[in-house]
Structure 1
Amino acid sequence: MRVTNLITLLSLAGACSSPDAARTTDTTTSAPMPEPPDTTRARTVTAQSDTLKVVRQQHPFSAPGAPDVFTLAVRGTSLLTGEATFTITDATGQVIFREMLSSADLEASMVYEMKTPTATPAKREAFIRRRLDTFFAERNFHKPALGPQETYAPGDLDRATWDDLHQRPEAVSFHYLVGKEDKRRIVWSPLKKQVVRLASFGG
């Protein structure tokens, strides 16, 4: 009788514990495993990988005593086909001017130096490099931005802004050539609180 009762108790205990054990096993095996980070998809090209040449120069421009950073960065597969980004960043890190220039914009004035009808790719690239290296030369910055003998001419700038700049001997303009003959000059306008373009500068 004791043996019979013992067998019965063991059977009941096994019946009660089996579902729990099964559930525990199921929970362990079915829980989703976190996927490892996919390092195989990391980008092989960085933002700077296509940068061919960068030139920078600090110079007073938008605020006295706090030089701005003038930057010209050429990106692409070749200096002969790349694109240049011209930016001016103030002392607080804010970009106050941005302009896109093509390699053709930088190369076009080479025609005035050529002794032959054509130039080799190596000579063309050397010319562009020289343009880049001298783009922010000191001779391209002028103070005052507007000379005392200059007179207003209708164009890119309104009269009120021009008059304000004309009365500021501390204003600095920057001159640069685009293409063969587009002689541009820009200046920071305290009145407008932005970079404005003045009439083209002379030869």
Structure 2
Amino acid sequence: MKISSYCLVFLLFSCSASNATSSEETAATATAAVAAPAAQPMVLQEVTGKHFFSNRSKPDQFRLQLTGKDALTGTVNLSIVSADGETLWSDQFPATYLLDYGFDTYAGDNPTDAQRTAYIQKRMKEFFVEDSFLTQAVKATDKFDTNYTANKQAWEEAKQTGLPGFFYNIGEENGRRLVYSPSQRKAIVVQSCC
């Protein structure tokens, strides 16, 4: 059987085009596999601790991370994750929110950037001190105050469960009392105060 030269050229061209397409696909796949992941912000400081919060028998993981180029322009990320791996609380704020009234005593009248940085690092190290953890988030004798209390349902639930609480302060007058709400399966701010 004779194959015309036209058919032979067509077959050769088809095979060549198919190989080129397959080579391009392989190159594209290889490039995608090698492409660098999105850059993560650099972690400058991290403080962690385990404390009872959502459960009296299994402690939760508390984490505070300072990310960014430096402490004065960085971001602080606060998270609470249960022993079962559920995120109960997540908060994010500028690192400079850790400069509070205590900074004036610490640094004096004309603080330097180095002093500001050192104070932010100091506040981070002290963020999870035992005084920040309340044995009982809301005691039976605590009165609900509409001026400072944010969530009456969570307040009442915390009063009934008797679970521990966590208090933290950012800025100069932004204190937050957190409780765990079993019905919502997360931490709730029940009180926000100066």
TM-score tier by shorter-chain length is 0.7 to 0.9
In structure 2, the residue matched to 1:74 is 66
**5+ unaligned residues in a row in structure 1: which ranges?**
1-12
Is 2:150 the counterpart of 1:156?
yes
2:160 matches 1:167: yes
- The equivalent position to 1:34 in structure 2, one of 23, 34, 37, is 23
In structure 2, what residue type is equivalent to 1:195? A
CA shift at 1:20, angstroms? 4.3
Letter in 1 for 2:178: I
> Helix, strand or coil for the counterpart of 1:167?
helix
Q: 1:201 Cα deviation (Å)?
A: 6.8
Look up the equivalent residue of 1:167 and give its one-letter code.
Q
| Shift of residue 165, structure 1, vs aligned partner | 2.0
Q: Which moved more, 1:97-106 or 1:111-120?
A: 111-120
SS at match of 1:196: strand
Distance 1:201 1:21, change over 3 A: closer
Going from structure 1 to structure 2, the CA distance change for 1:163 and 1:25 (only over 3 Å counts) comes to: closer
For the residue of structure 2 that corresponds to 1:38, the secondary structure is helix
Q: Matches of 1:16 and 1:196 in 2, distance apart?
A: 80
Mapped pair 1:87 → 2:79: yes
2:17 is the alignment partner of 1:25: no
Q: Distance in 2 between matches of 1:43 and 1:96?
A: 31
Where does the alignment leave 5 or more consecutive residues of structure 2 unmatched?
none
Counterpart among 88, 91, 95 of residue 99 in structure 1: 91
Counterparts of 1:122 and 1:199, CA distance in 2: 34
What residue is the counterpart of 2:50 in the other structure?
A: 58
TM-score, length basis structure 2: 0.81
1:46 is matched with: 39
User: Residue 25 of structure 1: CA displacement?
Assistant: 2.1
User: 1:30 and 1:115 mapped to 2: Cα distance?
Assistant: 72
Is the contact made by 1:144 and 1:168 (CA closer than 8 Å) also made in structure 2? no
Measured on the aligned residues, the alpha-carbon RMSD in Å equals 2.6
Rg: which structure is higher?
A: 1
Count how many residue pairs are aligned between Structure 1 and Structure 2: 186
